[in-house]
Amino acid sequence: MSEVACVDLFCGAGGLTHGLLLEGIKVVAGFDVDAACRYPYETNNRAARFIEKDVKDVTPAQLRKLYGSAKIRVLAGCAPCQPFSAYSQRYDTLTSPRWPLLYQFARLVKSVRPEIVIMENVPLVEKHAVFDDFIATLRKLGYKVWQGVVDCTQYGLPQTRRRMVILASLIGPIELISPTHKKPQTVRGAIGNLSLIEAGGADQADTLHASSRLSILNLERIRASSAGGTWRDWPADLVAECHRRDTGRTYPGVYGRMTWGSPSPTITTQFFGFGNGRFGHPEQDRAISLREGAILQGFPRKYVFVADGEAVRFKALGRMIGNAVPVTLGKIIGRSIMQHLGTDVMTEGGAADDTRTPLVA
């Protein structure tokens, strides 16, 4: 639809962009400071251009040029969530350079006045003044605002993930589509048929289906673990010293296996490590692979993250995958926008409902 053009700030590897494209929204560009994201972003989203730039250096004139003559301009800003995340209890939000990112996003909204604005972050963002200021800015500019915490399992993501989403429109009232799934998708349904690999091994046909190595001690630990169990089920000699102390006994979710019949836990940037959460494979004696983490984030199985022959770096790819907006959530947002635009734009561009893709691949 040439009438709609989107720019994706903080685009990362392209989770949101890919979801929007699958729903018929043309994404013309994505901005991010992480140069490693360029290859997956442009390879999988060929209509979109990757621009390596800090959001504070993005100018309104640059955005206007990218939008061209589009009738409906969409600006997405899913800023890094670390300052607001429950997983970052020690994160210094007052001195972090990431703290003002929502204000930079608001700066561009005020200058460009795009017809539609998208924001996504962790639910705890609403406890911070920057969130209230952002909402107030939108309303002062005349936007109709929808905000809510989205349980992604209700839309087919096989992962327990709750996200704050804001949709704002100058056209009229806008809202997220109703839940599409009565029953959650499961780990088995998502990754149950991937090939068997060992800890430290990889599938020759898919270098991203690679699992991190395990020490001899952690190999013993995962062999003593059952799906859905905890380290409390282990023999005493396998329990880490920190968990034997009173302060450590409240973290049963680390060193755990996923269960086949449920969604996965929230995929973090360190999901590839057995000791970093309940990231053990339900049956195989290893942590889930990078590919499995990407699938649980809604990425298609053939989504490319590294070029042929390039080394698979777990930390870099784990950060890229874990930080991504799930593709499924991107599709939900995209479908909501297309539904919102139905009577205003679609009469010129053609109906989108006939070509939209399933929320779960």
SS3 231: helix
Q: Please state, in angstroms and rounded to a whole number, the distance separating the CA atoms of residues 248 and 96.
A: 28
Nearest CA to 232 out of 250, 214, 247, 217 is that of: 250
To 5 degrees, how large is the angle CA 151–CA 152–CA 154?
80
Residue 192 class from Cβ within 10 Å (0-12 exposed, 13-18 middle, 19+ buried)?
Answer: exposed
Return the structure tokens found at 256. 């755990």
Under the phi-then-psi rule, with left for phi > 0, alpha for psi from -120 to 50, and beta for the rest, what region is 105? alpha
3-state DSSP helix/strand/coil percent for the chain, to nearest 5?
Answer: 35, 15, 50
**Cα–chain center distance at 99:** 19
Q: Pick from 238, 264, 241, 237: which is nearest to 253 by CA?
A: 264
Q: How far does CA 20 lie from the centroid of its chain?
A: 13
d(CA 214, CA 48): 38
81 a catalytic residue: yes
Cβ-contact 335, 22 below 8 angstroms: no
* Annotated active-site residue in 11, 81, 152, 242: 81
- By annotation, the residues acting in catalysis are 81
